[in-house]
Amino acid sequence: MYCFTWKISCQCCNQLIFSLAGLTDEKVKAYLSLHPQVLDEFVSESVSAETVEKWLKRKNNRQEGKLLLFTINI
């Protein structure tokens, strides 16, 4: 499937496709929450190990930031 002839981000293209299909981010998140095997299968087949590592680093950094805020607010 081609987005457009000019270069646009995949996220923008996905939002357009979701919009045309009547999907919202919230609907997709709800579906994936109810069907985690779909997300697992997609990530296993389509996402590089480097990207997963980047996601984990980002998540850990967010959790460390929340812990720091919690510690400071006590």
Residues 44 and 28 grouped into a single domain: no
Is the domain of 40 the same as that of 30?
no
Do 27 and 15 share a domain, yes or no? Answer: yes
Number of domains in the chain: 2
44-61 pLDDT per residue, tens: 999 999 999 999 999 998
Q: Rounded to an integer, what distance in angstroms lies between the CA atom of residue 2 and that of residue 21?
A: 16
Question: Are 24 and 44 within one domain?
Answer: no
Confidence check: pLDDT of 70 > 90: no
Per the structure, the complete domain to which residue 3 belongs is given by 1-34
On the question of pLDDT at 37 being above 80, the answer is: yes
pTM over 0.75: no
User: How many whole angstroms separate alpha carbon 44 and alpha carbon 66?
Assistant: 29
Q: pLDDT digit string (tens) for 22-36?
A: 888 898 899 999 999
Distances (CA, A) of 42 to 38, 52, 67, 72: 6, 12, 31, 39
Per the CB < 8 A criterion, the answer to whether 38 and 32 are in contact is yes
* Averaged confidence pLDDT in the chain: 78
Q: Do both 26 and 11 map to the same domain? A: yes
Indicate if the pLDDT at residue 17 is higher than 90.
no
Pair of tokens at residue 53: 């590592």
